[in-house]
Structure 1
Amino acid sequence: MPGARVVSGERLVPRTMEEEDVPFVQRESVAPEIRYPLGNAVRSRGDFEVSPEGADRFVVCLDESDATPSDPAEETVTRIAAVSVEDARYKRPGLGYWLAADSHGEGYGTAAALAVDYTFREHPTPAVGAQAFASNDASRGLLESLGFEQEGRRRQFMFVDGAYEDMVLYGLRRETWADER
């Protein structure tokens, strides 16, 4: 079951990623609807690290009203997404996120906003970075709606699903985030 609540939103609750969450993360992240837009390689459950050095990883859940803050019963939470903050301890943090395929179009992209809040609250960084493939309009739209600004582009960055994809680089300054909130 997911771990303790990290922060709470109106509907979404990021919880610490635990070993029990690996099947969800592995299963969803290798689904073509997720893997191709992210450029993920196919990985087995054994390839996943719950807490790699320098990363904060969370499973985003829809909690029932009786879900406890620290140790919820499995039937009181529904996993819908994963978010991560990479490299926050030694350089500019990078935001990562994806939604389970059956959660697309439900307005759950705001889970990324909870991860940005967490990052600025927990780490003394002046900015957060993120990236999305040029063809991933949904992800780019989410970043821009959160106040991220385009900072660059890596041409033909990765070979994904039979073609090279450009990677668009984004950044969000702490002051911009605070002003918009």
Structure 2
Amino acid sequence: MLIDTPRLRLRRFRAGDGPALAAYRSDPAVARFKAWEAPVSPESASALVREFANGDPAEPGWFQYAVELTAEGVLVGDVGVRLHDNRMQAELGYTLAADRQGKGYATEAVRAVLGDQFTRGLRRVSAECDARNTPSARLLERVGFQLEGRRPEYTWFKGEWTDDLLFGLLAERWRTLAR
């Protein structure tokens, strides 16, 4: 399972990815809108890498793609897809190291994963983000997602109520945009 783009390789996680995963997921700026707390210990990162490496992108549940910079051969993030039991829809999530943000890598990685997922026959991909995370919302819109709703004070998250933004992308829209 490999997806290559002009600057990235999206691949299965492997044992040596633990330290890089721990580093970018331990950054408080990266973890701010994520479910985990920073720092992420080396042991926790190694356990996550083992779990991610055993995933199957064709089976229901989460699959994490490791995002590697091709030129440097370094892990800089991950893109997760949760395939529903019906295998016709999925949810999307992504994380990128803070020092690699703002360079188009996340957009490139998300587009590549979406292209792969829609060729597998998905009808719809959904995504959610904290309403304060405007860079994430802009990325979703940039790759074709449409804002479908806002749930005010919906999630109790890291000690406060937060608004959730709901996004969706249908295969038909993806095909139109990909032309």
| TM-score bracket relative to the smaller structure | 0.7 to 0.9
The change in CA–CA distance for 1:159 and 1:31 in structure 2 (over 3 A counts) is farther
The counterpart of 2:171, out of the listed 164, 174, 178, is 174
**Distance (whole Å) between structure 2 residues aligned to residue 18 and residue 88 of structure 1:** 24
Map 1:84-163 → 2, pairs under 5 A: 84-90=80-86, 92-110=89-107, 111-122=109-120, 124-163=121-160
AA aligned opposite 1:113:
R
Per the alignment, in what secondary structure is the counterpart of residue 37 of structure 1?
A: coil
**CA offsets per residue over residues 116-163 of structure 1, 9 Å max, x none?**
1111123x2211111111000000000001110112233323334442
AA aligned opposite 2:96:
L
Per the alignment, in what secondary structure is the counterpart of residue 105 of structure 1?
A: coil
1:14 is aligned to 2:42: no
Normalised to the residue count of structure 2, the TM-score between the two structures is 0.81
**Distance (whole Å) between structure 2 residues aligned to residue 36 and residue 139 of structure 1:** 12
The change in CA–CA distance for 1:46 and 1:77 in structure 2 (over 3 A counts) is closer
Match of 1:45 in 2: 45
Match of 1:71 in 2: none
**Distance (whole Å) between structure 2 residues aligned to residue 46 and residue 14 of structure 1:** 19
Shift of 1:16: 1.0
AA aligned opposite 1:61:
E
Match of 2:61 in 1: 54
Unaligned runs of 5+ in 2: none
**CA offsets per residue over residues 42-68 of structure 1, 9 Å max, x none?**
55235522135622211111113xxxx
**Distance (whole Å) between structure 2 residues aligned to residue 164 and residue 23 of structure 1:** 32
CA contact (8 A) 2:156 2:162 kept: yes
Aligned length: 165
CA contact (8 A) 2:129 2:166 kept: yes
1:23 is aligned to 2:11: no
Runs of 4+ in 1 over 4 A off after TM superposition: none
Per the alignment, in what secondary structure is the counterpart of residue 20 of structure 2?
A: helix
CA contact (8 A) 1:150 1:169 kept: yes
Unaligned runs of 5+ in 1: 65-75
AA aligned opposite 2:12:
T
The change in CA–CA distance for 1:14 and 1:46 in structure 2 (over 3 A counts) is closer
Coordinate RMSD, CA, aligned = 2.1
**Distance (whole Å) between structure 2 residues aligned to residue 26 and residue 154 of structure 1:** 31
The change in CA–CA distance for 1:120 and 1:17 in structure 2 (over 3 A counts) is same
Per the alignment, in what secondary structure is the counterpart of residue 32 of structure 2?
A: helix
CA contact (8 A) 2:124 2:170 kept: yes
**Distance (whole Å) between structure 1 residues aligned to residue 67 and residue 130 of structure 2:** 22
